[in-house]
Structure 1
């Protein structure tokens, strides 16, 4: 246990304790958040920050009674409130409790708090709440844990891959309360095989519970965990819901919703609050807002979109450049802090977009109604008005509350066609809006030029859309091409997001930024070694910028190995997340970035709108407005939660899409296809099938006539005897060998190699075989709506 006492100055600890004691008695004067505590409690108690500071200064952990004595909390209400706060701080991983019931900061007890992410192969990782490197958990540590559990882990060293390795010190919270899976009844033993591959243990179902539930072998069920797993025992559960037959249409979504604990039913309080809101904008709501109803704002979205949260318009200026308006639905006018709607929106974190189904963050009355910028109706909005210079830089901006009326609901494909062919049929049908779109196109050219100058990274990818038949089975999978209209909206949204981030930072308000941290130096070194083999180099020295990555991409365009180079570049980058600490956005090459443009479907955007409104009101009231309702500490918790819900949604939608593709391919077992190697791993080749946009695995064990090893420097599988090798871009003739719907796997067998990917000039061959540790399959970037960034 870490102590403040110093060997060089043994009296330092008593002095610190004495100082801490004085601060405890006069805690109201030392608590920076005391004013905030007064708004929350009739009898205020020390804030979390003060409690952490007090414990950090003390010689060792303190019990509840000791803390009550130090802070001189004489009222029973204060003592009970402090007890509840300490329990919450333990649950959220800020404090740990030792065997005598004393509390200490986890950082000083050499513990790391976080969530467990299980792997189907038995091991797992701790995802730290405070960020930083994930901690590897060996299979032995995972025996008593389930995916999503919150735990405290003590780091004990490094694993064989050089990652921090930990042992579980304490389970903070059993997050996994239920399991979704397929019921199996064999020889009198009933158990549920989890549908989520991250849940590693089967769930035993007692015979009496099976009889009570009335479930049958093979059905999809939801089972509540009544006994968590132990080191030598499986978890025990009881069936709470029968979803239906295994292959019923839509079952994959129902299973994913429950497997990932996605909130999908509206609480009664939320339904009552939504029902009480008028169906139209009321005259009293317009008072004090700027009237933009005559400004020809338009929305541009996908053909199947139902929630329109942004509208745009631009005007040329005589002195050069343009004025750009980005109007965003004013969700904060209807969703007030701590109301049932707000609590449920926070719980969900974001809308989840499945194929043919959406789990919205807000009820349909708001998401598709009052808060959706539908054409020809009044809508409340938050507006970012920007002065765009001819070179694409933003000279100035202002934010204000407004009322608008969308003049047209446009879709990407139509707008792109109108801009490409101003004399065509689409343009003639929309003659009134065409001139405005052409001005927006000019603004886009300027903004994109500025983007290119600052060196933002622009990866290329093929996004796909699933087209269903009448029975809700996949009919086909088609590519979705990003056109000029997609890019136009994206640049307008990025510009507004940047200005919003700058505003709240200038106002010094707690807020969530969308951050994308600099890549890990070790990964950068590995990338440099790889690029050297390709005759390329990454500039920027020890700290390369986004522009250095962009230059490599530009040099790689047109090369036959561009896919491989882009994949390795992507693996080097960090994952974007939400944080109250602004470190900029590496990929976009921006110093300030926050999410402002989608409050209908993202909670961080709603929080940002509240901060902007506070800044506007404070400026109007000459700084007499009370303090902002949120603290930096609260924003830390918001950022962790919203980053989690975003990952949760991504995992759920990816899982459903993978299942649908497997179900589709189950009707093609035995068929032959041509394909391209899209990924290489030590265990085999991932091959994308021509015209289907589906990937399957050619396992290394099925490659004949040789023993193959993975060359981590060239990302190829090489035969040790005959010199055959396979890498990204190679063309293969394959056969669909088998499809496992439960494990969501498509196994392929190679028939023959059609052609190798052409070697790029400057590509250096490496004959040294180095066995690398297993790597996960490279993920392709995808987004239902690129504006989210």
Structure 2
């Protein structure tokens, strides 16, 4: 019945049925019926009708998620098609399997003898990367092999245009919206065991102290020996060398370390739903460490060679945000104060930094060349000229690490305030044609290289690396890189928002039979007119509660720092504190919006 004629942006009705007849308004009656059946009080029509259709089993959970994606596509708010063009799928299906002999005849390195393994989630299909730690008479070599997607996806081809438009794969509870056709993503480029595969391989020679003393890149043929799940490696002594190397590198790092659980709902069939909360373990951290090192080494290789790249940049925290957090902590009488972020970049001395600060304040260039500096200026490569100076970065990272250590000694509510504040202090990472370094990883040069099956920037970096290896002209110039970096950043943000929304919708479906359940939720945000709560106190499930739920008559307000919910005093009396950031608060479900993932809460 509900098809063809627009009833709202999301719901349609049959054209042969009139919407109005005299005083009868079908649209209004349907709204009333849906609201009555669902018991919801959202001002929009869609949540109530969606709840009614799901409860009546007219829509399965799978139907719901698909319809949400279709609705976003129609509203130009989902740039990720669920399928590929038939012609491109057919072209990909006709690609031949890898012929190792032919590939080696094209002067690829033969690395099939190395014991490469992939280590991924148990349900992974697109194996981007494989690792091998080789021990020999002269020491040890870490090999990291990455699928050679650039061999199949040539620049400016029809497939390349489609992959570039998508720029990323999107991982949803019910499906993957792939950047590449499945023949490439799950088969020909995937580093499956016991079949020859084309790969770009980074070779790292290690000394006895685990330092990388030399590195090189190869176009190669490899033969992965095993596809392992993370859990498979944890108790297997064969991988002790890999774990020890990763541990050593992690011990030497001064980098940001903020861990949160990741809620992973999955749809099986039409309505079967499973939910896991994934936390990092030694195996996931090991692979992450090796991939970070590889991305760093490739960034340095290509940066020194002068290649235009979509650098993965993570700025230092903003000074204003740091000052605001310090004021919050001071108001809570927490004796933690973060240092002011410095603007000094590589190659600058303190005088240059001071001139920059004064110039920003005055709105014009300031010449301090007459002042002497005790520091000796150092020459830096062009690709590092805009990167924050190491001492400036270390000072900020030391301050954040000290704040985390001090917070661990606080009572739980205050500790959560500090943790939340530090987390929100972080700027969003982005792609940029200008390298400013990666603050969170504490690296001067960082370029995504290790996931070309699912990220277009990695494919760009592969093409530039191939050009360097073959001593050819660069595939991309700086002007192209500016536009591509902005596009890939935008697509990445859209993909993340889409993933968050559909995860929230799926979690709400899971909560449909939990309306009488009670939570002792953590208050994680206060911003008029909402109180934001973490239901499980693990960062995996969030809801909101309107101030009016606490009292429709009292004059309630949130303080200037977003730390407390207060009730205005009467007749000159002081305000009373009703709620504080970080405290636990008993609540229940008030409204489940299955259509967009909102979760409204109420006090018990």
Provide the TM-score with structure 2 as the length reference.
0.77
Partner of 2:500: 654
- Find the counterpart in structure 1 of residue 119 from structure 2: 300
Residues in 2 aligned to 1:387 and 1:744: alpha-carbon distance in whole angstroms? 49
Does the 8 Å CA contact 2:61/2:509 hold for their aligned counterparts? no
Counterpart-to-counterpart distance in 1, 2:144 and 2:104: 19
Residue-by-residue CA offset, 1:149-183 (whole Å, 9 max, x unaligned): xxxxxxxxxxxxxxxxxxxxxxxxxxxxxxxxx97
Q: Is the 8 A contact 1:677 1:731 kept in 2?
A: yes
1:482 CA displacement: 1.2
Residues 1:192 and 2:8 are matched in the alignment? yes
Name the residue aligned to 1:480. Answer: 278
Give the C-alpha shift of residue 444 in structure 1.
Answer: 0.3
Instruction: Please point out which of 306, 310, 317 is paired with 1:512.
Output: 310
Q: 1:602 to 1:281 in 2, by over 3 A?
A: farther
Q: Which residue of 1 aligns with 2:110?
A: 291
Identify if the C-alpha distance between structure 1 residues 210 and 640 changes in structure 2 by more than 3 Å, giving closer, same or farther: farther
Superposed CA offset, 1:573-593 (max 9, x none) = 221111111110111111100
Matched, 1:333 2:151: yes
- 2:259 paired with 1:460: yes
SS class of match (2:198): strand
Counterpart in the other structure of 1:536: 336
Listed as ranges, the matches of 1:339-738 within 5 Å are: 339-416=157-234, 418=235, 427=236, 434-435=237-238, 437-451=239-253, 455-468=254-267, 471-475=270-274, 477-533=275-331, 534-539=334-339, 542-543=342-343, 545-559=396-410, 560=412, 561-618=414-471, 625=472, 627-690=473-536, 693-704=540-551, 706-713=554-561, 715-721=563-569, 723-738=576-591
SS at match of 1:598: coil
The structural deviation recorded for 1:246 is 7.1
Equivalent residue of 1:594, what SS?
Answer: coil
Secondary structure of 2:61's match? coil
TM-score normalized by structure 1? 0.59
Q: C-alpha displacement at 1:668, in angstroms?
A: 2.5
Deviations 1:265-318 (A, max 9, x none): 322431242133103335312221111111111100001111101001113466
Shift of 1:469: 6.2
Cα deviation, residue 383, structure 1? 0.6
Cα distance, 1:558–1:395 mapped onto 2, change above 3 Å: farther
Seen in structure 2, the aligned counterparts of structure 1 residues 492 and 709 have a Cα distance that, compared at 3 Å, is same
Gaps of 5+ in 1: 1-181, 196-203, 220-244, 419-426, 428-433, 619-624, 752-789
Instruction: Tell me: CA distance 1:281–1:554, structure 2 relative to 1, closer, same or farther (3 Å).
Output: farther
Is residue 525–residue 562 contact of structure 2 (8 Å, CA) maintained in 1? no
CA offset digits 1:310-363 (Å, max 9, x no partner): 00111346676x421111011111111111221111111111101131111111
Q: Distance in 2 between matches of 1:518 and 1:306?
A: 35
**Greater relative contact order, per chain length (Cα 8 Å cut-off, separation 6+):** 2
Deviations 1:600-639 (A, max 9, x none): 1111101101101111111xxxxxx3x2232211111111
> 1:253 matched to which residue of 2?
65
Q: Which has the higher strand share?
A: 1
Q: Is the 8 A contact 2:4 2:13 kept in 1?
A: no
1:471, distance to aligned residue in structure 2 (A): 4.1
Match of 1:192, SS? coil
Cα deviation per residue 1:126-169 (whole Å; 9 max; x = unaligned)? xxxxxxxxxxxxxxxxxxxxxxxxxxxxxxxxxxxxxxxxxxxx
Residues 251 and 504 of structure 1: CA distance in aligned 2, closer, same or farther (over 3 Å): same
Structure 2 residues not aligned, in runs of 5+: 20-25, 31-56, 73-77, 344-394, 570-574
SS of 2:470's partner is helix
